[in-house]
Amino acid sequence: MKRILVTGGAGFIGSNFVLMQRKDKGAEVANLDCLTYASNLKNLESLADDPHYRLITGSITDRALLRSIFDEFHPGAVVNFAAETHVDRSIDSPGTFIQTNVVGTFHLLEEARLYWGQLGADERRDFRFLHVSTDEVYGTLGPTDPPFTETTPFAPNSPYAASKASSDHLVRAYNHTYGLPTLTTNCSNNYGPRQFPEKLIPLIILNALEGKPLPVYGDGSNIRDWLYVEDHCEAVSLVLEKGQVGETYNIGGRCEKANIDIVKTLCECLDQIFPDSPNKPHSGLITFVKDRPGHDWRYAIDCSKIENELGWRPGQTFESGLRKTVEWYLQNSDWVDSIKSGEYFKWIERQYGQSPAAR
């Protein structure tokens, strides 16, 4: 049984990855998570009695804790999801992003390097350190620019993107300088079950259900490439298993959509599911708000490398993935209620002057 140390495994993407590893891949998992606002233990409650899963509460900035985990758990791989991820929060509090995403990744790399150096020859050969990153490190695209490839120069435009670009560079350096067997993945916008509702799709779903305004930045023309979270987790698993050491793999859905089109599609989906809703048509709730500072206009991922080298393809279309997402939120009201904390609403009100607002 492969042993994987997952960091940030109680968050959105991390929890979906942990569930996949335990239920579908048969790996033993240790999950290190500092349980911030974006983490939710309900994400992993189905593993509460699983003897091959353990939760460790703590931060990747804690070197002593990291060392004890490596010594006691003896992982064959590390998958690093631990990160501060929300652009608006990085504009408001950039220091937190530097500490977690840059300093934390450095500490994790250092402890992984020391641990890896003490392994036997076979274990050293098989060990992997996989760092999960974002397409935002590449900056922004114009309307006719080709999508980002793995060789696109970094040009981050927010403190969040800059912190992730810094961590990507560290991972590359540890492979080149020390020989640590690293892999990096850069993904496009994820959506799906268990996403904290500061992000566009879950926030629109929850606002619409409550008949609240659906604020959209600027004129809603900003474009993102959308990827269903379980497809992303399958890709990460495949890179971990078959990826070439030292390489980067872009993971995207080949699904470019303007934000306003995402919101309108969600409204149409909710109109179909709730034909008697007093808020129908839900598109009548759309409200345009002042744009985010330095808002990148377009992201697009060229995922030819992972498709051609590893044979990965997204399993969900945008339409099928979106409907699965809406249905999950509708069927999991307990989860939704658990994340509606006072801290969350205070953040929304501070950022947008109302509660809640769409990203």
Residues whose CB falls within 8 Å of the CB of residue 250, separated by 6 or more in sequence, listed in order: 135, 148, 149, 150, 185, 186, 187, 301, 302, 303, 305, 306
| Identified catalytic residue from 160, 191, 217, 329 | 160
| Identified catalytic residue from 84, 88, 111, 135 | 135
Tell me if residue 84 is catalytic.
Answer: no
| Counts for the chain of helices (H) and strands (E), in that order | 14, 12
Residues whose CB falls within 8 Å of the CB of residue 271, separated by 6 or more in sequence, listed in order: 277, 280, 281, 282
Element (H, E) at 206: helix 200-209
Two structure tokens written together for 112: 């992984």
Q: How far apart are CA 312 and CA 305, in angstroms?
A: 9
Tell me if residue 62 is catalytic.
Answer: no
Instruction: List residues bridging with 186 in a β-sheet.
Output: 133, 250
37-73 burial: b if 16+ Cβ within 10 Å, else e:
ebbbebbbeebeeeeebebbebbbbbeebbeebbeeb
Q: DSSP assignment, residue 284?
A: G
| Identified catalytic residue from 111, 136, 198, 307 | 136
Tell me if residue 135 is catalytic.
Answer: yes
Catalytic residue annotation: 135-136, 160
